Amino acid sequence: MPKHQPFQKSYIYTALWLAILGGFSLGAHIAMPMGFGWNLPPFYQIWVQTHGHMQLLGWTGLFIMGVSLYFMPRFVKVPLPYQFLTKWILILITTGLIIKTGALFTIPYLAAGTTASFFTYLVYAGGGMEWAGTLLYLFLIGTLFKRKPRNYVGLQSVQPFFAIMAAGFFFYSTLHLIQYFMFDATSRMPWSSLTIDIFIMLVLFPVAFAFSVRTFPLFIQIPPFRVSFYWFGVIYGTSAVIYLTGAVNHIPPAVEITAKIVISGIILILIYHLKLFPKMVLSPRRFMIRYYGEKYLNDRIDSGAFTKARPGYYDFGQYGRFELLIFSAYIWLAIYAVLEIFRNVFHLTGSSALFGHDPVRHIFLLGFITLLIFGMAQRMLPGFMKKKGLWSQKLVIWTFILGNLAVLGRVLPILLPQPWFAGIPEIHQWLMYGFGISGLFAIAALALLLVNLWKTFRG
Ligand code: HEM
């Protein structure tokens, strides 16, 4: 009888090292000259594109894969098939990322000739390895779902979100690979933008939401959901496909923009259903009375549960204040959705939006996804490793402070309209310094997370 595979912590370590030494360092290296008015690094486009891809596949992608390869088999109650493949997925993606990045940064310094074409082949080989690793992951997840019991209903509500995630991984990795064969760094830009949108809409949001639905009732004591999210998933997926099709095929701009507004609207409705905002503002007692009823509350008081656990949670504080990271992640997500609605309503009415794509995108990627990973990692991974709690609860607060400072620094100066600073250029200058060092704040938070997890896993 096959058994469940233990948690593959190498995915988490690799994601963290790739983030610290790769994605975030590249981001910091681009942001610093922008913030302090220094010269941008040569071959800027390659820096930006490599930063983006390394962050998406290396940081968030490997984290999602590592967690889902442990979580999903237990969720559908079937051991993961072909368990030996999990190490190959990690080897292929990590080696591919490193080879491709090294070659991309070397090519511009070489004159056209045999050596340059050798490095171009390395780019193809690296891209091919990333693609093969991602496809192996999809193969494992697909086989797992095929083997789940036929009458298993636990998955139904979030099934469309997992299906969208699988499609997203496939299209992202395939289009990302194809673009290296078709375009050079400058003409790659529009495609790069499409693949990023695919990753954000089809991979990151669906998987973050599906995991939130499955874990939040346990982690932050919110009542189990009475609604099924199935149809939300279907409408979300259809709108995302309509929006993304607009990038490759002509569809009326009004349809494309409406699809984007629907997506953001659904995100807001889903946030509402997670009940995180009442959880943040109501006392544990009032929250419980409102959502569970007075009888349940009294039963819990009688059973002594409140004296044992942290009020409003099931844990005893051994994971620190991890919920602050989850709350702030969802606040950033709500801000993202509202700004996206504004941006698209402006487009629809023909006026130019007050703020650009980049800060809004980073609100999602850094504010929502990265802070959510910080919070979930510190709450969930000790349990995956059969540990009773985190090595340090204080470090959780520091990842919360540094992580949020990084988001504020990264997005505020570009998000706030320039005319606001007309009479006070010094404030804008200071905000730009904050932009310059935002990457360092993020790297510091990642380093603390790495230390905390490493010590916890070894303890
Ligand atoms: C404090 C941390 C970060 C800093 C300092 C940073 C910095 C930057 C900068 C300066 C750019 C170029 C913007 C432009 O061209 O105008 C950029 C683009 C981008 N960043 Fe970040 N970033 C950070 C975090 C993240 C995270 C966490 C992710 C994803 C999880 C991410 C994904 C991207 C993507 C996808 C792009 C666009 C790449 C492209 O156009 O090909 N960044 N970032």
264: Cβ below 6 Å to ligand 1? no
Domain ranges of the chain: 1-152, 320-459
318: number of Cβ within 10 Å: 13
* Ligand 1 atom at minimal distance to the Cα of residue 28: 5
User: Probe ligand 1: pick from 55, 64, 101, max atoms within 8 Å of CB?
Assistant: 55
Confidence band, pLDDT 50/70/90 cuts, at residue 110: confident
Mean pLDDT of 283-287: 93
Mean pLDDT of 156-164: 93
Determine the distance separating the centroid of ligand 1 and the alpha carbon of 386, expressed in angstroms: 35
Report residue 71 CA to chain centroid gap. 17
* Range of lowest pLDDT (311-315, 390-394, 437-441): 311-315
Q: What is the pLDDT of residues 118-153, one digit of tens each?
A: 999 999 999 999 999 999 999 999 999 999 887 777
Phi and psi, residue 248, nearest 5°: -115, -20
Average pLDDT, rounded, for the chain: 93
Q: For tokens 């009688």, what's the residue? A: 302
Confidence band, pLDDT 50/70/90 cuts, at residue 104: very high
Determine the distance separating the centroid of ligand 1 and the alpha carbon of 349, expressed in angstroms: 29
187: number of Cβ within 10 Å: 12
Query: Whose CA is closest to atom 1 on ligand 1?
Result: 439
Q: At what angle do helices 159-182 and 230-245 cross, to 10 degrees?
A: 20
369: Cβ below 6 Å to ligand 1? yes
CA distances from 169 to 195, 389, 426 (A): 10, 32, 44
CA 189, 195, 196, 198 dihedral sign is positive
Confidence band, pLDDT 50/70/90 cuts, at residue 155: confident
* Ligand 1 atom at minimal distance to the Cα of residue 407: 1
**Surface-to-core class of residue 200, CB atoms within 10 Å of its CB (0-12 exposed, 13-18 middle, 19+ buried):** buried
Query: Whose CA is closest to atom 12 on ligand 1?
Result: 48
Confidence band, pLDDT 50/70/90 cuts, at residue 65: very high
60: Cβ below 6 Å to ligand 1? yes
Q: What is the pLDDT of residue 355?
A: 77
Two structure tokens written together for 241? 């496909």
179: Cβ below 6 Å to ligand 1? no
Q: What is the pLDDT of residues 15-46, one digit of tens each?
A: 999 999 999 999 999 999 999 999 999 999 99
Mean pLDDT of 287-302: 86
